[in-house]
Each structure stands twice: as structure tokens, then as C-alpha cells.
Chains A and B, each alone.
Chain A
């Protein structure tokens, strides 16, 4: 069974038809990357899965269960985490507060989860008492991903994790995601083609609110025609 399945999903925002029948599947244990130009509907797809911009029609199945009509705050409780495009680290909270607020059961982060996060992002412990507003772009991205790892979720939605980051930070993010994908299924939105192809298993290309191509990531690496037609690479 697929972990996530979108079936002809349409989403309207303020009267605009943003998703025009999105259909795709994400099998468990895979990292799928959603590619496409600006405005194609990639981030809206993420938000629609999370219920933040609810689908107006179609079905979204998580572990076979329809979730498109669920309340937005119930969806993460199924085991789905979002790392949004703007990172949305709470600037008034410390890094520790940013992680604690994500804990769904209990008041503390479970020791094994904290150890796991620290193994993936060793510098994070040093930042625990630092306020979100005082973090660099790379540190914010690290905290945003770490926050999504606090619970043992099955699906991670990560929106443009490399945006605005220096190459050295992008490389450490690539290593972190490579580690995370060993235990968690990931749907990634990314404009950085090299980064995407270095880490993903499957690709999905969006244009004008629809999926227009899907396949194994190896297939697109050499396909310059698709790259130039849909991605401007």
C-alpha cells in the first residue's frame, strides 16, 4: 500500500484554481521530489496535504485513510510533519521551545528522539538556549527539520530546504536528509535540481497545478529535454 496517495485533487485559494487535479503516489520508505517552476503549485500541494489550504475536491489517502476532509490540526497527529518553505521557526521561542512545542504526547522530547536529532544535527545542542530570531538561515533550516523529527512521524513534507542557503550548508542538509530517509518517507519540494537528483528516489514534475511527469530519479538525470522543457535547467 502507498503511504500517500493524491487522487485528482483540486484546490482553490481566494477563487483561484491552484491545483487542477493532482494525482500521484508516494510508496513507503522512498524520497519523492516534487519539481517544477515557480507557481506550479508545489507548495500548495504540501499545504493541501496538511489541510492548511483544504482540497476542494479529490481524495488524499494516508496509509489508505482519506484525510482530505480532516481538520488541519488532526492531520499531523496521523504521523505527518511539515517543514514549510519559510522555515517558520518561532522567533520568540528558544530552539528548545521550538522543539518542545512540537511534542504531541507528553511535555518532554523522548530521549531516543533527542539522541536521534542530535546524531543528525550535532550542532543543535549548542543552540538550545538561543532564540529563533537570533539564528542564521542554515540554523533555522536545521531547527525546522529537527522540529519535524521530534515525533516519530511516518511522512515528512519538506518544502525547499536549500532555499537561500550557502553551498556548504546545502551539503550538510543533503547528508542530514540522506540519514533521515533511512527511517522516514519524505516528499520534498525543491528547485535545486542537483540537490534533488543527488538524494531522491522518485521525481514528480508539476506544471500549472498538475503532475505532468513522474518516474525514477535516474531517468530524469540524463533527460535534458524534460529538464529544459519543465524545469528550465
Chain B
């Protein structure tokens, strides 16, 4: 029987995992929404965020500052990838080349990590402030998960403000709908593409920095996350940030409650949620038909 205490615990844990999933996914969704490029190297950028985040925590002795610095650097990586590589492959008919390019980048980015940090898994200890647990509604709750909820809330608010309260957000939303008209208004949309890639990379790097303290560091962590990212993006509806946020929470709740009631199906929960959502709405929760 599910007690109210356990229900609260499962729900809060699921929300924190959902926030983490949203962080992992939001950058991919944002970039796909505007550029219509499926960046399969997103997982590798998450991994770079994780490695650089841990490296900078040691170098800067500040957890939050290290996360931001590594996220900024991963953002710059994706912006440079956009300027020098992806930009050559815009337009209809180039989708296969985009897939090949971004898949190729996975190998390059993953191998560079192995060269710099080695191929072995590296355990990572949570920073002192994030260790331990607090009691919420009579149940212990890991402090680090509260930290993730906080970061998730801040990032969600920042994305909302960026897209809805700024001129660049106006341009991004318009560009998602009709790039030619945006150009016809005298706007250099290529610069907007680069900026969006920087933001997408920043989000990937930030989520990687957070993820590292859950999973530790390994050169496979990016490719391992890619599947989760892709499923959440599809469930949310391609290119919809809000859809990704809802899907991330839904997937995390599915994992938590299936894991509790039907533990043998927990490993399939990602796909069960996808199956149910796509059976009802093939374009995803907020995807356009």
C-alpha cells in the first residue's frame, strides 16, 4: 500500500529526476526548434560539460561557478561547431549529412575525452553542501536533488524569460516558424542560429555538470544519455521546449511509480511512456501535426 509519505517522496524524487531530464533535453530541443538540425552530438556535449564541470570545481573551488564556466565553454564549442560545420548543411535535402556530421562528432568528442581524461569511469564525490539529506514530510530527501530542483527552476525561468520577454526571444520564436520572413525583416538569422547553439550548448554543459554527481564520469555517459534525450524530445513534440519539460516530468514520474509498483518494468518505463503518448498523439505532446 502506498502511504502518503511515500507518495510525496516518490513524487519529489521524480520531480528532481524530471528536472534533470529537462536540463539534459532542453538544449537539444531549442537547437532543433530553430535550426531543424538533430544534433546527435548533444550527448557528447553533456559529457564534456560533466568532465569540464568536475575539472573546474577542483580548479576554482566553487561548485556553482565551475558549472557556469564549463557550461559557457560547452556553449562556445557548439557555437563553433555551428559556425564552421553545421552552417554548411542547412536546407532541405541536407538532413542525412546533418545526421552523419553530428554522429561523426560523437566519435571525435568522445575520443578526445578519452585522450585527456582516460577511458576509465571516474567516481565523483558530491560537494560538501550537497551531501546528506533533509526530512520532508517525514521522509529523507537528498540535498543534491533539491539543488537540482533549484537549478531546474532557475533554468526554466531563464528560458521562459529569454523566449518571451526579449527581442532575441521574439526573433527565435519567429525564426522557428518562418526563417525567410525573419530575413526579409532585415534580421541576420545566422547570428541568431549561432546564439541559439551557444544557449543549447550551455544547457548541455550545465546538465552534464549536474549529471556528473549522479553517475560519475565516463566516456560513455554522453551516448548513454542520448537515448533518454531523444525519447523525451519525441514525447514532448519535436522542437517544443515546453513539451520537453512536460515529457521529462512525465517520464520521471513513470520511472518512479512503475519502479515502485512493477519493478520488473522499470527499465522499460521510458518506452512505455513514449508508446502511450505517441499512440494518442503521434506528433508528441506539444508537437505540430
Contacts and interface: CB of A to CB of B under 8 A. Distances in A.
Given A52-B184, A101-B171, A101-B187, 17 more contacts: A50-B184, A52-B183, A72-B184, A73-B187, A73-B189, A75-B186, A82-B184, A88-B180, A88-B181, A91-B177, A92-B177, A93-B170, A93-B173, A93-B174, A97-B170, A100-B170, A101-B182
A90 interface: yes
Given A52-B180, A90-B174, A90-B181, A77 B186 contact: yes
Nearest to A150: B185
10 contacts: A74-B186, A77-B186, A88-B178, A88-B184, A90-B173, A97-B170, A97-B173, A97-B174, A100-B170, A147-B185
B185 A102 contact: yes
B143 interface: no
Interface residues of A, number: 23
Interface in B162-176: 167, 170-171, 173-174, 176
Contacts of A73: 183, 186-189
A92 B173 contact: yes
A77 B176 CA distance: 22
Contacts of B185: 76, 101-102, 147
The interface residues of chain B, by DSSP majority, are classed as helix
A84 interface: yes
A90 B183 contact: no
A107 B167 contact: yes
Contacts of B182: 101
Interface of B: 167, 170-171, 173-174, 176-178, 180-189
Contacts of B184: 50, 52, 72, 76, 82, 84, 88
Contacts of A101: 167, 170-171, 174, 182, 185, 187
Contact of B186 (A76, A88, A90): A76
Contacts of B174: 90, 92-93, 97, 101
Contacts of B183: 52, 72-73
Contacts of A50: 184
A104 interface: yes
Contacts of A147: 185
A71 B180 CA distance: 12
Nearest to B189: A73
A107 B177 CA distance: 21
A92 B174 CA distance: 7
Interface string A60-96: 0000000000011111110000101000101111000
A50 B185 CA distance: 10
Contacts of A104: 186
A97 to B, nearest CB: 5
Contacts of B180: 52, 88
Q: Looking at A76, A101, A147, which has the most chain B CB atoms within 10 Å of its CB?
A: A101
Contacts of A77: 186
B178 to A, nearest CB: 6
A76 B180 CA distance: 13
A26 B80 CA distance: 43
A109 to B, nearest CB: 12
Contacts of A102: 185
Contacts of B173: 90, 92-93, 97
A73 B186 CA distance: 4
Q: Looking at A75, A77, A102, which has the most chain B CB atoms within 10 Å of its CB?
A: A102
B138 to A, nearest CB: 45
A71 B187 CA distance: 11
Interface string A139-172: 0000000010000000000000000000000000
Nearest to B171: A101
Interface in A99-126: 100-102, 104, 107
Q: Looking at B171, B183, B189, which has the most chain A CB atoms within 10 Å of its CB?
A: B183
Contacts of A72: 183-184
A52 B180 CA distance: 7
